[in-house]
């Protein structure tokens, strides 16, 4: 397993990490199989989504804000980031990405994103190989 660090730019953002993941494949020795990408944070997740049109990320974050608004008066979590925990619970903390020939095997428009909901911060992603045989 290896760890990579991602600096997030704002409180909420989808940070494209596809290039970072591909760059880590040789260190993992992963040529064919599955890449497990895990976020060890309760307020930042990982997802696969369209990367060609940045408005997709905008729309996703907009809708999550509508569903889980920051500072909602009904939240009981005292740190002020209950919305970030809820958004992460919906997005999830991990993805599996197929790898073939030493490259991520994503669909035409797909990219892998770190979903930041309580930044800006320095986040970690833990990468591990899952044998696909």
Report the CATH number that the domain containing residue 53 is assigned in CATH.
2.60.120.460
> For the CA atoms of 35, 39, 45, 48, what is the dihedral angle to 10 degrees?
-10
What band does 34 get if pLDDT is binned at 50, 70 and 90?
very high
In terms of residue numbers, what domain contains 45?
Answer: 2-130
How many domains are there within the chain?
Answer: 1
Question: Is the CA virtual torsion 31, 35, 40, 41 positive or negative?
Answer: positive
pLDDT in tens, 51-84: 999 999 999 999 999 999 998 899 999 888 999 9
Neighbouring-strand partners of residue 23 = none
**Tokens 């044998």 found at:** 131
> What is the per-residue pLDDT for 54?
93
Structure tokens at 121: 């911060």
Structure tokens at 40: 């060890």
pLDDT in tens, 110-132: 999 999 999 999 999 999 998 75
> What is the per-residue pLDDT for 6?
98
Read off the pTM: 0.95
């Amino acid at each position: 397993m290896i760890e990579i660090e991602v600096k997030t730019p704002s409180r909420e953002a989808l940070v494209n990490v596809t290039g970072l993941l591909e760059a880590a494949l040789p260190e993992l020795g992963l040529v064919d199989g599955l890449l497990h990408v895990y976020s060890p944070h309760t307020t930042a997740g990982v997802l696969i989504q369209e990367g060609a049109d940045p408005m997709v990320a905008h729309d996703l974050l907009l809708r999550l804000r509508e569903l889980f608004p920051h500072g909602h008066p009904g939240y009981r979590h005292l740190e002020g980031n209950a919305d970030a925990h809820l958004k992460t619970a919906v997005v999830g903390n991990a993805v599996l990405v197929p790898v073939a020939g030493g490259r991520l095997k994503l669909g035409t428009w797909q990219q892998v994103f770190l979903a930041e909901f309580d930044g800006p911060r320095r986040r970690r992603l833990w990468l591990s190989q899952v044998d696909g045989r």
